[in-house]
């Protein structure tokens, strides 16, 4: 069924390296949703493993882009934000959301992984992102980001009680629904926990031994597209988790492809799967 929904994704453009906008735009579009982009910065590559990348901040362009869209009466059915790059972007994003968004604000904090912040980010960036996360209708943090947002110690394999505390903390922060990522009981397992309307639902699966770059963005993009197409929250998160697993699996034996995951050949099958789930 054709969709009239349009979404806006706000994140950097890493020209090479399969993350942020170069993942979100193709995935969400291929899954049938019109996707507008607002790049907050342009980098030659992502920052995780490449050296000497370029970085141009585009935040000064945002107010005039928003003013033009407002004048043209352009509105969105959802906004999905990822890696922004500068703490001042948060203010612009919140203003844009209040003016142009008629649907949910979906926030992937996208500032860290494996217990550490990405290069270039500090406590002030986390503080600014916490403000954006407090306004999220759906928040998509991994465990590292959740712990940093709440200023609590990171533990790789949190207990059920610790997961409950994190969900409570993020709810108190202001997030209306949460998809917490990267949860397993040991190194062989990973998964997600979805929390909405006071109900917690866990989904765990095998963890592949290789951890890959850009997978948070692949997850978020599939999640957003599935949700806007009409799948329920848990089903959208499961679809995204399964797809991310398959993309890592399709890449893990190729040492030349260390910088991202080969998701493109899997998109047709994913589209068919979502069509089937919606029937």
User: By the criterion CB under 6 A, which residues form the site for ligand PXL?
Assistant: 12, 14, 19-20, 43, 46-48, 83, 110, 118, 214, 216-217
Which C-beta is closer to ligand PXL: that of 67 or that of 116? 116
Block residue for tokens 């069509």: 275
Q: How far is the CB of 100 from ligand PXL (least distance, A)?
A: 23
Which C-beta is closer to ligand PXL: that of 47 or that of 135? 47
Instruction: Tell me which DSSP letter residue 264 carries.
Output: G
E strands, 182-261, in order: 189-196, 199-206
Q: How far is the CB of 12 from ligand PXL (least distance, A)?
A: 5
What is the number of H-type helices and E-type strands within the chain?
A: 9, 11
Which residues have CB under 8 Å from 18's CB, separation 6+? 213, 214, 259, 260, 261, 263
| Spatial contact of 106 and 138, defined as CB atoms under 8 Å apart | yes
Q: How far is the CB of 43 from ligand PXL (least distance, A)?
A: 5
| Spatial contact of 9 and 38, defined as CB atoms under 8 Å apart | yes
Q: How far is the CB of 22 from ligand PXL (least distance, A)?
A: 10
Q: How far is the CB of 84 from ligand PXL (least distance, A)?
A: 9
Which C-beta is closer to ligand PXL: that of 20 or that of 69? 20
Which C-beta is closer to ligand PXL: that of 39 or that of 158? 39
Which C-beta is closer to ligand PXL: that of 47 or that of 101? 47
What would the DSSP string read from start to end of 28-64? Answer: HHHTT-EEEEEEEEEEEE-SSS-SS--EEE-GGGHHH
Q: What share of the chain is helix, strand, coil (3-state, %, to 5)?
A: 40, 25, 35
Phi first, then psi: give them for residue 15, nearest 5 degrees. -60, -40
| Spatial contact of 145 and 109, defined as CB atoms under 8 Å apart | yes
How many alpha carbons lie under 13 Å from residue 171 in its C-beta half-sphere?
14
How many alpha carbons lie under 13 Å from residue 132 in its C-beta half-sphere?
35
Phi first, then psi: give them for residue 116, nearest 5 degrees. -135, 155
Which C-beta is closer to ligand PXL: that of 110 or that of 129? 110
Which C-beta is closer to ligand PXL: that of 19 or that of 33? 19
Q: How far is the CB of 218 from ligand PXL (least distance, A)?
A: 9
Which C-beta is closer to ligand PXL: that of 53 or that of 203? 53
């Amino acid at each position: 069924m054709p969709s009239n929904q349009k979404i806006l994704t706000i994140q950097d453009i890493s020209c090479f390296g399969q993350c942020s906008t170069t993942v979100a735009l193709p995935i969400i579009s291929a899954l049938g949703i019109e996707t507008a982009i607002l790049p907050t910065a342009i980098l030659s590559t992502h920052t995780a493993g490449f050296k000497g990348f370029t970085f141009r901040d585009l935040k000064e362009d945002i107010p005039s882009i928003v003013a033009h869209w407002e004048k043209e009466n352009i509105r969105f059915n959802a906004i999905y934000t990822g890696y922004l790059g500068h703490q001042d972007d948060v203010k612009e994003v919140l203003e844009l959301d209040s003016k142009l968004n008629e649907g949910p604000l979906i926030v992937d904090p996208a500032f860290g992984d494996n217990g550490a912040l990405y290069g270039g980010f500090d406590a002030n960036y986390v503080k600014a992102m916490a403000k954006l996360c407090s306004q999220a209708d759906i928040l998509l943090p991994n465990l590292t980001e959740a712990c940093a947002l709440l200023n609590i110690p990171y533990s790789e394999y949190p207990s059920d009680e610790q997961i409950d505390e994190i969900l409570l903390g993020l709810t108190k922060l202001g997030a209306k629904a949460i998809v917490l990522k990267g949860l397993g009981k040991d190194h062989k397992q990973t998964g997600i926990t979805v929390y909405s309307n006071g109900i917690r639902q866990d989904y765990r699966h095998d963890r592949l031994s290789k951890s890959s770059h850009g997978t948070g963005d692949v997850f978020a993009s599939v999640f957003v597209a599935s949700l806007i197409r009409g799948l329920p929250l848990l089903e959208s998160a499961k679809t995204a988790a399964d797809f991310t697993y398959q993309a890592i699996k399709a890449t893990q034996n190729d040492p030349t492809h260390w910088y991202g995951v080969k998701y493109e050949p899997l998109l047709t099958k994913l589209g068919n799967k979502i069509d089937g789930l919606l029937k």
